[in-house]
Amino acid sequence: MSVEIVSAGPMLSVQDKGRTGLRHLGVSTAGPIDAARMALANALCGNPVGAAALEFAGPAGGFRAKRPVRFSVTSGGCDIRIDGRLVAANESHRLRPGETLAIGVPQGAVWGYIAFSGGIAIPETLGSRSTHLRSGLGGVDGRALRAGDILPLGEDDEDAPCLRPESPLRAVVRRDGPVRVVLGPQNDYFAPEIVERLTEEEFTITPQRDRMAMVLGGVQLPSQRGHDIVSDGTVPGSIQVPGSGLPLVLLAESQTTGGYPKIATIISADLARLAQMPVGAKVRFSIVTRDEGEEILLADRRNMRALLAGLVAKPEGLLRSEYLLSCDLVGGIFAPEEIVQVASSQDGGTLR
Amino acid sequence: MTATDQPNPATRTTMNPTILPCGDSALVLQIGETIDADANARIIALNAELEARAIPGVEEIVPTYRSLLVRYDPEIVRGADLEVLLLDAFAHQADTRDAGRLWTVPCLYGGEVGQDLDELAAMKKLTTQEVIALHSGAEYRIYMIGFAPGFAYLGGLPDILHTPRLLKPRQNIPAGAIGIGGQQGNINSVGGPSGWRFLGWTPLRTFDPARAEPFLFRAGDRVRFRAIGADEAQELAARSSAGETIIQPEPSGERA
């Protein structure tokens, strides 16, 4: 069982829960930039939330499977087509042999996720399948995927239903309000009025971004004690300030140690929201205490668990509007529920 | 060996730790703000103490020059409680000074990878042989592994070889490159861009994900360089690429 990459966008890579426990050896976590969206993509396919899936930015590409699989795409309002027929994001669908799945550019988001039922079953490197592009580790030869790559899939129950969230999906990540930070560890390198600038002014998302970090523009944060520290540990969310004064936010693929002072750290619950902002977007920061940040993280995890626990089977006999719109309905339909009944009765047990 | 790059077993300086928040899932315990072998030895001893205590909720510990970063899961241990546990571990850590394992690293000086050797000698008004003798005559301490997988930061570079980084980094420095950045030495673990100046190359693979033990070094180990010729470099490189570990360390010992 495998998935073939028919065409690949420039930033299509295998990611899973990431590599933990190796930061003291210089190996960063890698893993998804937006773990919540990837967890949802996996759960919609019946996979464990940390299973290996695909992450993309820009167009994702085209995909074919040798046997029937279920897949889901989580990324804003992405254009997703099976042999040209539009299907919805944030729910799973069946992809049959011979059909081509084409996935376009995320709309209103930067990073998107594609999960396949069974999960991508390439061999693990240092305990994870995640690709670390900078050091060429994990994934497929440590690189972004290319047309012609064949990705093996894990065990899958072909009779399992396609899933969707119980109620219409509210944003998996919060969409409004300032991005919250905890000050430190080197906020004392900055004069009080510069720390105030962090929350009083508006920063801009610049095009200088990848899986490692994103550079913010619009506001400079000069340090009164210089921009070199004796290198120490970093985490995803660290806001480093190099000599340019323009803050640099570290993401999943960041280096494990760094020599620039870190004015603050973005809280875990808000980091993906920042990373999903398009180039040119404006962002404001607000300060919370470490204790508040922890409470927000715990609440965020509870919400995520509730969302994932509330996934329900899609009534596969029910013809969805996009399907009906794609059909050549000769003679028209004036009683669509009749078609639904016929289709449902043929479908039997999947209506759970 | 320089006086400052190996911990002095005779002194046990009092160092007051500071705990700094690093977001909602990490803390930093820091002693001092400079590169100091004693502080680094305390950090590495604290790392060992924390590993032995296996505090529930602690996910990763990253020792660096003079601080230790602890990543935790606030669902299992809250930061405020972890601060108390960290300070207790610091106050009660075993009073030992592990001297670290000693590695002798073969180095092919000069050549394509060691492209800065001759220029460095000219800058320092030394002969190339004198630079090699200085670099291979010192004993280095691995203060930390960081930045990239297996990348070793070395202290103990003779003062006369301290040299600022290049203004413009080069794009493709190979794995195994041995260089100088400011007061530090390094052994490149993976290829990539670098603004350091490079004196040589080792066929030793300090990081090889395909090997049973992917990482050779850990923080606190000691390193010496041994000059080798091109023939030996080629032979060692062949064994290295076959997945063989081509050097063994001398075991560590207690110094306290």
In this predicted model, what pLDDT tens digit does every residue of A104-152 receive, in sequence order? 999 889 999 999 999 999 999 999 999 999 889 999 999 999 999 999 9
Q: What is the mean pLDDT of residues B179-188?
A: 92
pLDDT tens digits along A237-266: 999 999 899 999 999 999 999 889 999 999
Looking at the complex, report in whole angstroms how far the Cα of residue B33 sits from the nearest Cα belonging to chain A.
Answer: 7
Strand-pair partners of A116: A71
> Among all residues of chain A, which has the CA nearest to that of B142?
A25
Give the three-state DSSP class for A128: strand
Instruction: Confirm if A196 and A240 have CB atoms less than 8 A apart.
Output: no
Please give the Cα distance from A135 to A138 (Å, whole number).
9
Residue B21 pLDDT: 96
For every residue of A179-201, DSSP letters joined together read EEEEE-SSGGGS-HHHHHHHHHS
Q: What is the pLDDT of residue A339?
A: 39
The answer to whether A229 and B33 are in contact (CB under 8 A) is yes
Q: Are B247 and B224 in contact (CB under 8 A)?
A: no
DSSP track, A213-243: EEEEES-----TT-S----EE--TTEEE--T
How far does the CA of residue B63 sit from the closest CA of chain A (Å)? 6
What does the pLDDT read at residue B93?
A: 85
Task: Compute the distance between CA of residue B36 and CA of residue B67 in angstroms, rounded to an integer.
Answer: 11
Measured CA to CA, the distance from residue A193 to residue A184 in angstroms comes to: 15
Q: In chain A, which among 38-97 make CB contacts under 8 A with chain B?
A: none
Whether residue A116 contacts residue A66, with contact meaning beta carbons closer than 8 Å, is answered with no
* Minimum CA–CA partner of A258 in chain B: B147
Residue B192 Rama label (left phi>0; alpha psi -120 to 50; beta): left
Per-residue tokens: B73: 């899961």
* Contact: B79, A237; criterion CB under 8 Å: no
Does B59 sit within 8 Å of A268, measured CB to CB?
no
Interface test with A, best of B4, B22, B27, B205 (most A CBs within 10 A): B22
**Token code pair at residue A342:** 């016929």
Please tell me if residue A352 touches chain B, with a CB cutoff of 8 Å. no
- Two tokens, residue B6: 């190996």
DSSP state for residue A135 in the 8-state scheme: T
Q: Residue A250 burial (CB < 10 Å; 0-12/13-18/19+)?
A: buried
Please count the residues of chain A: 352
| φ and ψ at residue B69, rounded to 5 degrees | -100, 130
Question: Under DSSP, is residue B57 helix (H, G, I), strand (E, B) or coil?
Answer: coil
- Evaluate whether A68 touches A59 at the Cβ level (below 8 Å): no
A272 lies within 8 A of chain B by CB: no
**Bridge partners (DSSP) listed for residue B107:** B227
The residue of chain A with its CA nearest to that of B206 is A25
**What pTM was estimated for this model as a whole?**
0.88
Query: Which one-letter amino acid corresponds to residue B4?
Result: T
Contact B64 A232 (CB under 8 A): yes
Instruction: For residue A126, give how far its alpha carbon lies from the nearest alpha carbon of chain B (Å).
Output: 7
Question: What is the spatial distance between Cα B44 and Cα B94, in angstroms, rounded to a whole number?
Answer: 11
Query: Is A235 in contact with B26 (Cβ distance < 8 A)?
Result: yes
> Kindly report the CA angle at A104 between A78 and A95, in degrees rounded to 5?
85
> From the CA atom positions of chain A, what is the Rg in Å?
22
Strand, coil or helix: what is B115? coil
For chain A, positions 216-255, list CB contacts with chain B under 8 A: 229-235, 237-238, 255
Tell me the residues of chain A between 156 and 175 that have a Cβ less than 8 Å away from chain B: none
What are the strands, taking DSSP E only, across A237-352?
238-240, 248-250, 257-258, 262-266, 282-283, 285-287, 311-313
Secondary structure (3-state) at B254: strand
Mutate to test the interface with B, among A122, A210, A256 (most CBs of B within 10 A): A256
Per residue in B4-55, pLDDT tens? 577 765 544 557 899 999 999 999 999 988 888 889 999 999 999 999 999 9
Quote the distance between the C-alpha of residue A289 and its chain's center: 27
- SS3 (DSSP) at B56: coil
Contact A12, A120 (CB under 8 A): no
Quick one: average pLDDT of B52-78? 97
Contacts of B68 in chain A (CB under 8 A): 233
C-alpha span between A173 and A171 (Å, rounded): 5
Q: How many helices (H) and strands (E) in chain B?
A: 5, 13
Note whether A262 contacts B64, CB cutoff 8 Å: no
Taking every pair of C-alpha atoms in chain B, what is the biggest distance, in angstroms? 60
Per the document, the length of chain B is: 256
Q: Residue A170 has what pLDDT?
A: 63
The residues, ordered by sequence, that sit 6+ positions from B198 with a Cβ below 8 Å of its Cβ are B113, B114, B115, B116, B117, B173, B177, B178, B179, B180
**Residues on chain A touching B4 (C-beta within 8 angstroms):** none
Closest CA of chain A from B228, distance in Å: 27
For chains A and B, count residue pairs whose Cβ atoms are closer than 8 Å: 145
Backbone φ and ψ for B104, nearest 5 degrees, come out as -105, 115
Q: A89 CB contacts (<8 Å, ≥6 apart)?
A: A72, A73, A74, A75, A76, A77, A78, A80
- Partner-chain residue, chosen from B21, B33, B218, that has the shortest CB–CB distance to A184: B21
Burial class (CB within 10 angstroms; exposed 0-12, middle 13-18, buried 19+) of A345:
exposed
Residue bearing tokens 């510990």: B61
- Taking the Cβ of residue A182 and every Cβ of chain B, the question of whether any pair is shorter than 8 Å is answered with yes
Rounded to a whole number of angstroms, the distance from the CA of A237 to the nearest CA of chain B is 8
| Separation between Cα atoms, residue A299 and residue B182, nearest integer Å | 46
The reply to whether A267 touches chain B by the CB within 8 Å rule is: yes
pLDDT digits (tens, 9 = 90+) for B110-161: 999 999 999 999 999 999 999 999 999 999 999 999 988 999 999 999 999 9
Chain A residue whose CA is closest to B64: A232
Distance from CA of B249 to the nearest CA of A (A): 18
d(CA A175, CA A93) in angstroms, rounded, equals 26
Interface test with B, best of A24, A250, A305 (most B CBs within 10 A): A24
d(CA A180, CA A274): 10
- CB-closest option in B28, B74, B146 to A294: B74
Nearest by CB to residue B69, choosing from A233, A237, A298, is: A233
- What is the reported pLDDT for B32? 87
Residue A294 touches chain B, beta carbons under 8 Å: yes
pLDDT at residue number A314: 93
For B223-252, the pLDDT digits (tens) are 999 999 999 999 999 999 888 889 999 987
ipTM of the complex: 0.88
Is 50 exceeded by the pLDDT of residue A43?
yes
